Structure 1
Amino acid sequence: MCGRFNLTLPVEALRAVFAVKGEIVPFPPRYNIAPTQPIHVVRESREDRTRTVGLVKWGFLPSWVKDPAAFPLLINARSETAADKPTFRNALRRRRILVPATGFYEWKRSGARKIPYLFETGGPFALAGIEETWIGPNGEELDTAAILTTAATGVPADYHDRMPLTVPEAAWSAWLDPWMEDAPRALALTERAAYTARPVSIRLSNARNEGEGLLTPDPEEPAKAEKPDTAAAPAADDQPSLF
């Protein structure tokens, strides 16, 4: 699962790392990116194969959804079934994206508290994503995205049974290629990155909190642990029973 992540790269560093063209609207470091928030994604143009950065809603909406309010929040897509599910299969074939990140979070219980942990690789990395543009009955458009996940291995397996898939830099061009519509071949480009994990502040559990201070662990026995923001809590992977 991937229910929170961060992106702390400066704009020009993001441009250089992902070799993108065009304007990138300036943004501050983001230490607590949560479901339903806008996220930065890297796309590749079908016309001239240039890469651009855009903003999409983190929460996948298939084009055939009639009422978004009645549709479950899909922030993740299981890589094992995404190629076959009507919800995700067209996006996996034609609308693959990179989701730039500098870390992601999982929670682990410690006594009476659930402590968030930051998973890092030592530099920026690219989460494997898919996107879809939902068009409403009045012509309104909403770009949305989900992050592909797989069974957890290595360090993340001690914290959750799922982990996000990443795309190694050598495979970015192939993953983004809008003319390559072979889903199994695309999935074969992804990998489970090697992570380290460290505890961070329990304040991260509230999606309204932001700032570099969230990366500092709390004292061993805080006077009062902040309650999680249940309205913006991380959502589960896609729900196989629904689709």
Structure 2
Amino acid sequence: MCGRYTLLAEEAEILREFGIESQIDGYEPRYNVAPGQKVLAVIHDGNKKRAGYMKWGLVPSWSKDPKVGYKMINARSETAHEKPSYKRLMSQKRCLILADSFYEWQKTKSGKRPVRIKLEDRSLFAFAGLWDQWGGEEESLFTCTILTQEANEFMKPIHDRMPVIMPRKKQEEWIEPIKWNPVEAKQFVDQLTMDDLHAYEVSDYVNSAKNEGPDCIHPIA
């Protein structure tokens, strides 16, 4: 799964990397993004790419209770095209969720230890995501989930699952305002190639979602 990550890039770098024309309302770097919080995502509205905040934890448009989002922070890429909550979104509501590293907790004999994982060759990247709009009587929510996949050889010693990281050359294609067959979307994800990763142990300070700041990413000597 993917349950915590960082986004420390400057706003100008984000705008340049993802071809966003407008400034990002309320942007601030984050050292410890957690489920239930706002996350920065990019969609294509049919005219242009837009960057803005959504709540992390998918609430399907047909859901009766927005609290379901706390159970839907991740969607398995292997089966998302079949699931009622994700099938329609795989077809037409795909997004990029921006990050520059993610955390995972590796099981050891002395307990779980937090590890920060980054890309070797680029700092800023995007998770493959799905989004939806939920409208209740008193509020309207834009929410999202991160697609995950079976861990690659690098990640297997750390965890058996990992987020789907979108290759730079495939980012625009993923969010194009084109309706795909859900199976086509799955096949698109299945054929993605993974960039090389780098990982290092960090302090258990990051364990609490309330903690924020540079102490979250300092390596353990």
**What TM-score comes out, normalization by structure 2 length?**
0.91
How far apart are 1:125 and its partner, in Å?
1.2
Q: Is the 8 A contact 2:58 2:68 kept in 1?
A: no
CA distance in 2, matches of 1:70, 1:82: 17
How far apart are 1:183 and its partner, in Å?
2.6
CA distance in 1, matches of 2:62, 2:38: 21
Match of 2:152 in 1: 153
Gaps of 5+ in 2: none
What are the equivalent positions in structure 2 for 1:94-243 lying under 5 Å apart?
94-122=92-120, 123-136=123-136, 138-190=137-189, 191=192, 192-218=194-220
**Match of 1:18, as an amino acid?**
F
**Match of 2:53, as an amino acid?**
L
1:14 aligns to what SS in structure 2? helix
How far apart are 1:70 and its partner, in Å?
5.8
**Match of 1:62, as an amino acid?**
P
Q: Is the 8 A contact 2:107 2:158 kept in 1?
A: no
Q: Is the 8 A contact 1:116 1:201 kept in 2?
A: yes
Q: Is the 8 A contact 2:57 2:69 kept in 1?
A: no
How far apart are 1:45 and its partner, in Å?
1.4
CA distance in 2, matches of 1:144, 1:45: 16
**Match of 2:30, as an amino acid?**
R
CA distance in 1, matches of 2:96, 2:35: 17
CA distance in 1, matches of 2:86, 2:164: 16
CA distance in 2, matches of 1:178, 1:143: 17
Q: Compared with structure 1, are the counterparts of its residues 189 and 116 closer, same or farther at alpha carbon in structure 2 (3 Å cutoff)?
A: same
Q: Compared with structure 1, are the counterparts of its residues 68 and 211 closer, same or farther at alpha carbon in structure 2 (3 Å cutoff)?
A: same
1:28 aligns to what SS in structure 2? coil
CA distance in 2, matches of 1:183, 1:165: 17
**Match of 1:116, as an amino acid?**
P
Root mean square deviation, CA, Å: 1.7
**Match of 2:154, as an amino acid?**
V
Please list the CA deviations of residues 22-76 of structure 1 after superposition, one character each: whole Å capped at 9, or x if unmatched: 2312433211000000000001112x2x111010000001111112236652100
What are the equivalent positions in structure 2 for 1:42-57 lying under 5 Å apart?
42-46=42-46, 48=47, 50-57=48-55
Q: Is the 8 A contact 2:97 2:126 kept in 1?
A: yes
Q: Compared with structure 1, are the counterparts of its residues 142 and 70 closer, same or farther at alpha carbon in structure 2 (3 Å cutoff)?
A: closer
How far apart are 1:17 and its partner, in Å?
0.5
Q: Is the 8 A contact 2:205 2:215 kept in 1?
A: no
Q: Is the 8 A contact 1:165 1:193 kept in 2?
A: no
Match of 1:225 in 2: none
More strand by share: 2
**What TM-score comes out, normalization by structure 1 length?**
0.83
1:204 aligns to what SS in structure 2? helix
CA distance in 1, matches of 2:69, 2:3: 18
Q: After alignment, is 185-194 or 2-11 more displaced?
A: 185-194
Q: Compared with structure 1, are the counterparts of its residues 126 and 41 closer, same or farther at alpha carbon in structure 2 (3 Å cutoff)?
A: same
Q: List structure 1 runs of 4+ shifted beyond 4 angstroms.
A: none
User: What is the count of residue pairs matched by the alignment?
Assistant: 216
